[in-house]
Structure 1
Amino acid sequence: MSELNDHPEGAGGPQSAELQSPEPQSVEPHDAPWPDDAAPTGDAAVDSAVEQLAGISAVPVAEHSGIYAEIHDSLLAALDADER
């Protein structure tokens, strides 16, 4: 049986050209539009989390992980509260 990551001979092995002469790759800016408005879900905790995302496109990317962590924690707290 063949594994999904098996490569035919000469196709990307250790002697691959990209490993021998690395060239800087250009990074294209993200072109996807940011959603304007999110439809309410009817769940106050989820709606609150989605509201926190509304202004994230204006926040420096380096700060996104902190915002996502806060949203994640608030959703976990809401799930924990529902279990009681």
Structure 2
Amino acid sequence: MKKAIMKGRNLLCKVDVKDIAFLNAIFEWYHEVATVRTKDRKEGLIELWIAPTFYEDALKAIDYLKSGGFVKKFEIVKEVGDDWHKE
């Protein structure tokens, strides 16, 4: 019997443009939690590709970055599908 593949969860987020590189570096350091993909650099839209078992950790990281003053803006716009391979 085959095991079902666990799909990740992807969040579309709006951030200050100046913080995109910083956020990418933070999540790159903790690569098992999420990967950052810039969707629209001019608008500050990024997509977080979150590993299935680390969704709660990713949300905690977002809250920590906001509450700690590390980033001024980090708004989750919506959850999007993981159909990046179809783009």
Structure having the higher Rg: 1
Normalised TM-score (structure 1) = 0.30
Where relative contact order (Cα < 8 A, 6+ residues apart) is larger, the structure is 2
Which protein is richer in helix relative to its size?
Answer: 1
Provide the TM-score with structure 2 as the length reference. Answer: 0.29
Higher-strand-fraction structure? 2
